[in-house]
Amino acid sequence: MSYCTLYGIKHGDNVLITPPVTFHFCRGGIVVGNNVSISASSVFLGVKPSARIVMGDNIRIAHHFQISCASLVDIKSNVNIAPFVFISDHNHKFEDPDIPIKDQGICIQENASVVIGDGSWIGTKVTIVGNVNIGKHCIIGANSVVTRDIPDYSVAVGAPARVIRHYDSESGQWARC
C-alpha cells in the first residue's frame, strides 16, 4: 500500500484519478484498493476529523460522484458507480424552525456507516443517505434514493428505494417481489 503525500490517501496499485477531483479530508482518512478508477469532477468531503472512506479493489467511479462522510463510507470490491451519485452517512438537523437549516449542523447516528457490498452497481443519479447497508451483488436503479438497508442479491428502485427483484438461489433465477 502506497501513500499519496499531496492528499494523504493510502492506495494500492493501478489507481487512476482523473482531474479535477476534490479531497477535503483529514490525512489518512481515505484508503483505496487496487485497480480503482475515479473520474473527473468527483468530491470527497470529510465533515468530522475521524471520518473514513474505504474502497476495495476493482472499483469504477464515474464523473460527478460525491461523498459527504462524517463516520464511515465503505465501498467493497468490484463495485461500479455511475455518474452523479451522492453518498452521505449523515443528514442535516432541521428541528428548530427559527434557525436556517444550513446553520443547524448535521445529525449523525451513533456508529453510522454506508456500506456498499461486493459486486454491486449503483445507477446514475442515485442518492444514498443515512446509516445504510447495500448488500452484495445489488443493483440500485437510476434516480433512486436509498434510505434503508437493501439485502444481498436485490434490485431496488424508486424514492425511497424498494426491492423489486431478488435472486432466488433455489431456482437460480431473479424473481419479482
What single-letter amino acid sits at 85?
V
Give 99's contacts (C-beta < 8 A, 6+ positions apart): none
Q: What is the grid cell recorded at 83?
A: 455518474
Catalytic residue set: 92
Q: Sheet of 154-157: strands edge to edge?
A: 15-17, 36-38, 60-61, 80-81, 121-122, 139-140, 154-157, 162-168, 173-176
What is the C-alpha separation between 162 and 150, in angstroms, rounded? 8
